Amino acid sequence: MLQSPLRTPLIEGSKSYGSITSDILNPMMNKAGKFWYMGMTIAGLAMLFGVFMIFWTVWQGIGTWGENRTVGWAFEITTFVWWIGIGHAGTFISAILLLFRQKWRNSINRSAEAMTIFAVICAALFPLIHLGRPLLTFFIFPYPNTRGLWVNFNSPLVWDVFAISTYFTISLVFWYVGLIPDIGTLRDKIKKGLKKNIYNFLSFGWKGSARGWHRHEITSIMLAAIATPLVLSVHSIVSMDFASSIVPGWHTTIFPPYFVAGAIFSGFAMVQTLLIITRKTMGLEDFITESHVENMNKILIATGSIVALAYMTEMFMSWYSGNEYEHYAFMNRATGPYWWAYVIMIGCNVFSSQLLWIKKLRKSLVFTFLLSIVINIGMWFERFVIIVTSLHRDYLTSSWTMYKPTIVEFGLLIGTLGIFFTAFLLFIRIFPVISISEVKSILKTGTRHQQKTDLSHDTTE
Amino acid sequence: MIQRNNILISFDDEVPLLQAVRKLRDNKEIITDVLSPFPVHGLDEALSIKRSRIPVVGFIFGAIGALLAFGFQAWVFTVSYPLIIGGKPFFSVPTFIPITFEVTVLFAGLSMVAAMLIRSKLKPEIRFEPVEERITDDRFVILVEAEDEETTLSRIRSLLSGIHTIEIR
Amino acid sequence: MMDEQFDFKQKYRNLLLILIAGGILVSLAAIFISKPGPSRIWANVLLNNQYFMGLSLGAAFFLAVHRVAQSGWHTVLQRLPDAMTTFLPVAFVLMLLIYFGIHNLYSWTDNNVSDKVIEGKKAWLNIPFFFIRIVIYFTGWIVLTRMMRKNSTALMISSDLKYHNRKILFAGLYLVFYGITVSASSWDWIMSLDAHWYSTLFGWYVLIGMFVTSLAFITLLIWLLKRLGYLKYVRADHVHDMAILIFAFSIFWTYQWFAQYELIWYGHLPEETSYYITRLHHFKVIFFINLGVNFIVPFFGLITFKAKRQIGWVAIVAAVVLIGHWLDYWLMIMPAAAGDKAGIGLLEICMTLVYGCLFIFIVLRSLSTGPLVVKNDPYLEESLNYES
């Protein structure tokens, strides 16, 4: 397909199909560098700390957390929503950018989709451990039982169960279907040994036949088509955990799309964090180019602006509504005892992301990396502000309290970060971080090759 | 596995591959299969591959999922164990929608993947011997059915003389 | 082919002008005979203002999003939505006319001190500020769309890339301004019809409805021009992408509709449910037709691969979507503005006809002022060879 000469190349350097394979596979098949070991050590330690905190929570009980009568949800739900939100960028890149035919997504979708799976795993931990009796977790699923009971289908918390299970399953399946051809490549590159047998098993006998590719492409497009409304619905359902209540600051109709925009915002920030490091340490700068980083920054500023618009709308409406409780909820956020969290939220989400209007900053890798961390901190605080400030002071003033997190809760947050990064570091050693076959399919149209050759291909080189 | 004599023609680029496919089909050769490391644009039309009906499978199973999910919730809340929760009616359509939607997507997605795997005969197996090792790397292969190897081989060689091939065997 | 220009023949102009004149006459007759009351008449003015202004704004939104995303495929079509934005100055004048009906539409314009809720909103809901905001909205919209249009048409003559870059800059500015103002304007003009009610989603709900309607109108324009023998280079591939957008954003609209409805239903707070109770109890049929037409038709009508590629079929679905979203605006505006007197009769049909013909007239006239294709646009070649 013809490309305008105005477009920056999607793949740098003069590559051939063979060099694409080796460029992507070599870093993972060779021995790991010291950065990898360093990363694994830190992440592994964090993960162990978190695992111990999970054990401590289950063993000693929820009393080890800082929640109290008034503030029944705090750190854990915040972190839960934060992780689910981060996961959404993966599906956005895999599915929505595919539907919009944005070819630049081909070199980042594999790692983004893997990120989604790990993020959802981290998120799913919280429903498990925040129940008073974790051994009875299966109660949340509707199964026939001797008590004749069913789950409360009216409750958004049950919708969450279905939404997150579906999201995890479909994301996993989507990721794996895309991975099959690349596992085939790995299988054929490795000559013998246990690794070859494992990849052989996992490759499902993929041989690259034309009909196979045809079905694969159609399945991928269809999965993308259903994953798109899925990603919108999952975070909307998560937002309905709050919005379907009547707590001031929570009961507001804008929550579903606002949460989705925020999720994509924080998710893309996390993708930037991961990929800026990965492209450098694995030598993949030719595939994950600076223009990829810039494109992702454009999405960051778009979604960041939508989030800012939502803040403005909520603030205006809290006054316009004439509802004193709603109005107080917002005044309390900005001027009450948690005002500092509010400042972090606005500063990290609104002001920082608006800096991306400046072209130089948009193209700067260092700025992008720092900004991506800042944005994720800001988005964590956004959920914290929404949850804790609305709960700690709602209708009944005699119930107003403060909330203070305990070391166990901090440990859980750090622990999930550890699990996430450990999983991602393992992933980059086991599976190709970039989708080899998809990048090959854009080699001709995405590089200077295309601009040089003419359109009639009667003779070969 | 049906043992059929096949002539293997390999290329290093998709452009000569497409030219060869068109030439072979014009000459009424029977192409058993074409293998490539990525989906080649234009190959489906050259081989007259009909559009897969996997989306239809997805739609049907999605519809089944929708009916199952909605029906189940309705049955639970109206027949099996009706409870007044938050003053809402027993048959509360708005609250049934989210789960109905999720189950629809789940059924549609899984059924399409299953259909793809079954139709392409893909399953986990211990041993798989590729026809040409670099298929998944940087080689493109056409497999042509050949009753008599020798004559077919020479016929194909002359047919594809103007096209850049790597190997014909 | 590159220089083909739309010929806005005299007979089409005359037809449209006759329809406008006839529509006005029949509307006046309908007012005289059925005496709908000033609220309903002014509600019709507001409804049509919003709808047709929305077509312009949504068209600009389509262009802005595509330009900022550096999308190539739409380049061959861009003169159509560009032409649609020329209606905005007319819409500005028409919206200012609301001044004469403001007491019939908005209850907050009465000096009813006993209503504490409305008193509390006086800082925003007062007539001077209301009209200052109208001026701000329209000035921004007209200036930004004009700058986008000028820089786009400059590429018809010059090949200087600076016009292309400026076009993208104004697209970005438009998106920011539009996001804020479409929310605020929908609060001002539609939401305040019932000044006790509020919904934070309202602005975004209107935004998406606007976008889908504009997509449908652009598609109909494509169909019309192809019928008249133009746009031969617009192929099934381009139609496919328009159809995908209508399909996807109709689903997105439905999702917004559901989000607003479900949360208000669930919370069951009287100050919020009043909106839906009015509409469900008195206008049940239209309520469900609205949902059906705007979701079921585009969803099932455009779900298959083949359906998306035939301009004739997609145009039919687009026409249904256009009517459907008019109904959506009707449901938002009429029950609140006209109350008991609300209805869909000769008055509504004729006034919409008048506005519609005026809109088409202005759009086609703008289209005819230059070639249908922007010759030097850097993405034009890509667009002409687009395969989907």
Q: What is the largest CA-CA distance in chain C?
A: 67
C-alpha atoms less than 13 angstroms from C-alpha of A270 in its C-beta half-sphere:
34
Does the distance separating the beta carbons of B116 and A216 come in below 8 Å? yes
B153 and B102 in a common domain: no
Top pLDDT among C236 and B161 is at C236
Does the distance separating the beta carbons of A209 and B124 come in below 8 Å? no
Chain A residue closest in CA terms to B116: A215
Indicate the residue of A240, A243, A313 with minimum beta-carbon distance to C203: A313
- C305 touches B at CB < 8 Å: yes
Taken as a whole, chain B contains a residue count of 169
DSSP string, A38-71: HHHHHHHHHHHHHHHHHHHHHHH-GGGS---SS-
B138 and B112 in a common domain: no
Which chain C residues contact residue B51 at CB under 8 A?
305
Q: Is residue B1 part of a domain?
A: no
Does the distance separating the beta carbons of C255 and A233 come in below 8 Å? yes
Which chain C residues contact residue A244 at CB under 8 A?
262-263, 266-267
Q: Is residue B103 part of a domain?
A: yes
pLDDT digits (tens, 9 = 90+) for A354-378: 999 999 999 999 999 999 999 999 9
Chain A residue closest in CA terms to C194: A321
The residue-averaged pLDDT of A439-450 equals 75
Helices A255-281 + C236-267 axis angle, to 10: 120
Q: Are A244 and A157 in contact (CB under 8 A)?
A: no
A427 vs A180: CA distance, rounded Å: 15
Using alpha carbons, list the distances in angstroms from residue B78 to A157, B71, B81, B83: 20, 10, 7, 8
* pLDDT score for B4: 61
Q: Are C368 and C8 in contact (CB under 8 A)?
A: yes
- Number of helices (H) and strands (E), helices first, in chain A? 20, 0
Cα of A88 to nearest chain B Cα, Å: 16
Which chain C residues contact residue A152 at CB under 8 A?
none
Those of residues 143-162 in B touching chain A at CB distance below 8 A are none
Average per-residue pLDDT for chain C: 92
* pLDDT score for A13: 83
Q: Is residue B125 part of a domain?
A: no
Those of residues 263-302 in C touching chain B at CB distance below 8 A are 265-266, 268
Cα of C362 to nearest chain A Cα, Å: 32
Q: What's the pLDDT band for B134 if we cut at 50, 70, 90?
A: confident
Q: What's the pLDDT band for B74 if we cut at 50, 70, 90?
A: very high
Provide φ and ψ at B37, rounded to 5°.
-80, -10
B110 and B67 in a common domain: yes
- B50 touches C at CB < 8 Å: no
Does the distance separating the beta carbons of C378 and A6 come in below 8 Å? yes
The residue-averaged pLDDT of C234-245 equals 93
Top pLDDT among C117 and A311 is at A311
- B97 touches C at CB < 8 Å: yes
A394 vs A69: CA distance, rounded Å: 13
Q: In sequence order, what are the residues at sequence separation of 6 or more whose Cβ sits closer than 8 angstroms to the Cβ of residue A110? A: A175, A178, A179, A182, A431, A432, A433, A434, A435
- C244 touches A at CB < 8 Å: yes
Q: Are A13 and A443 in contact (CB under 8 A)?
A: no
Q: In sequence order, what are the residues at sequence separation of 6 or more whose Cβ sits closer than 8 angstroms to the Cβ of residue A208? A: A181, A184, B35, B36, B37, B135, B136
Number of domains forming the structure of chain B: 2
Q: Is residue B94 part of a domain?
A: yes
Which chain B residues contact residue C261 at CB under 8 A?
94
Cα of C19 to nearest chain A Cα, Å: 40
CATH number of B145's domain: 3.30.70
Which chain B residues contact residue A200 at CB under 8 A?
125-128
pTM: 0.94
Is residue C100 exposed (0-12), middle (13-18) or buried (19+ Cβ within 10 Å)?
exposed
Indicate the residue of B51, B55, B94 with minimum beta-carbon distance to C265: B94
Does the distance separating the beta carbons of C255 and A229 come in below 8 Å? yes
- Sheet of B167-168: strands edge to edge? B31-35, B140-145, B6-11, B167-168
pLDDT digits (tens, 9 = 90+) for C140-160: 999 999 999 999 888 888 888
pLDDT digits (tens, 9 = 90+) for A372-424: 999 999 999 999 999 999 999 989 999 999 999 999 999 999 999 999 999 99
B80 and B106 in a common domain: yes
A164 vs A233: CA distance, rounded Å: 10
Q: Is residue B150 part of a domain?
A: yes
Size of interface A-B (CB pairs under 8 A): 209
Q: Is residue B75 part of a domain?
A: yes
B58 and B45 in a common domain: no
Q: Is residue B14 part of a domain?
A: yes
- B124 touches A at CB < 8 Å: yes
DSSP 8-state assignment for residue B79: I
* pLDDT score for A456: 39
- B130 touches A at CB < 8 Å: yes
Chain A residue closest in CA terms to C241: A100
C54 vs C320: CA distance, rounded Å: 17
C193 vs C278: CA distance, rounded Å: 13
Does the distance separating the beta carbons of C303 and B95 come in below 8 Å? no
B63 and B44 in a common domain: no
Q: Are C380 and C230 in contact (CB under 8 A)?
A: no
Cα of B100 to nearest chain C Cα, Å: 14
Does the distance separating the beta carbons of B87 and C268 come in below 8 Å? yes
Q: Which helix (H) or strand (E) holds B143?
A: strand B140-145
Cα of C313 to nearest chain B Cα, Å: 20
Residue A2 has pLDDT above 80, yes or no: no
Which chain C residues contact residue B95 at CB under 8 A?
262, 266
pLDDT digits (tens, 9 = 90+) for C290-317: 999 999 999 999 999 999 999 999 999 9
A452 vs A449: CA distance, rounded Å: 6
- 3 state SS for C112-134: CCCCHHHHHCCCCCCHHHHHHHH
B94 and B69 in a common domain: yes
**Which amino acid would we find at residue B52?**
S
Q: What's the pLDDT band for A1 if we cut at 50, 70, 90?
A: low
Which chain C residues contact residue A232 at CB under 8 A?
252, 255
Residue A77 has pLDDT above 70, yes or no: yes
B136 and B113 in a common domain: no
Does the distance separating the beta carbons of A210 and B47 come in below 8 Å? yes
Residue B114 has pLDDT above 60, yes or no: yes
Does the distance separating the beta carbons of A253 and C264 come in below 8 Å? yes
Q: Is residue B124 part of a domain?
A: no
Does the distance separating the beta carbons of A7 and C203 come in below 8 Å? no
Domain span at residue B102? 54-119
B114 and B60 in a common domain: yes
B159 and B105 in a common domain: no
A437 vs A435: CA distance, rounded Å: 6
Chains that touch B (3 or more CB pairs under 8 A): A, C
Which chain A residues contact residue B88 at CB under 8 A?
154
Top pLDDT among A394 and B72 is at B72
B69 and B98 in a common domain: yes
pLDDT digits (tens, 9 = 90+) for C36-68: 888 999 999 999 999 999 999 999 999 999 999
A412 vs C78: CA distance, rounded Å: 52
Chain C residue closest in CA terms to B52: C305
* pLDDT score for B131: 75
Cα of C230 to nearest chain A Cα, Å: 24
B112 and B63 in a common domain: yes
Q: In sequence order, what are the residues at sequence separation of 6 or more whose Cβ sits closer than 8 angstroms to the Cβ of residue C191? A: C197, C198, C199, C202
DSSP 3-state of B51: coil
Q: What's the pLDDT band for A457 if we cut at 50, 70, 90?
A: very low
Chain A residue closest in CA terms to B39: A213
Q: What's the pLDDT band for B3 if we cut at 50, 70, 90?
A: low
pLDDT digits (tens, 9 = 90+) for C79-102: 999 999 999 999 999 999 999 999
